[in-house]
Amino acid sequence: MHYRPSSYSSTCDSVKQKAVTHPDPTRFLRDAARAPLAPLGLTLRGRGRKLVDDHGWWIVNVEFQPSGWSKGSYLNVGVQWLWKPFAGHAFEYGDRVRLRRGGKVVDFIEFENSPVH
């Protein structure tokens, strides 16, 4: 069962409107992620595409991973236990999230900067 904040559908509608005019994919993802993920305890880290939910001795890492060849994003979600040191964030247990889009399963969503019809 997935938790969805009560503002989820209105947030999705506003995200669709923002996508029409937003020129920067990273900023768009940060703006779009903030409202639905904050109630789940996730906070943005730095100026990039990473969010963290800190539970003291373990954290949830969420990353909107950019592509090297196209504007868009992969979504990676994982847990990191804090009982051993890492230089940065790690996905000790987790995976890339696959989504159903247009009748097929995809793991990359391309940024669209065109009007939504």
Instruction: Quick: pLDDT tens for 2-56.
Output: 344 444 444 444 444 444 455 677 888 888 888 899 999 999 988 888 999 999 9
In a domain, 48, yes or no: yes
In a domain, 116, yes or no: no
User: Widest CA span of the chain, in angstroms?
Assistant: 49
Residue-number span of the structural domain to which 65 is assigned = 8-110
HSE, side-chain direction, 13 A CA sphere, residue 93: 6
HSE, side-chain direction, 13 A CA sphere, residue 113: 11
In a domain, 35, yes or no: yes
Q: Please tell me the total count of domains within the chain.
A: 1
In a domain, 1, yes or no: no
In a domain, 117, yes or no: no
Instruction: Quick: pLDDT tens for 43-96.
Output: 998 888 899 999 999 999 999 998 888 888 899 999 999 988 888 888 899 999
In a domain, 2, yes or no: no
Could you write out the DSSP letters of every residue in 68-85? SSSSEEEEEEEEEETTS-
Predicted TM-score of the model (pTM): 0.70
| Pairwise CA distance, residues 49 & 3, whole Å | 22
Residue 65 DSSP label: E
In a domain, 3, yes or no: no
In a domain, 115, yes or no: no
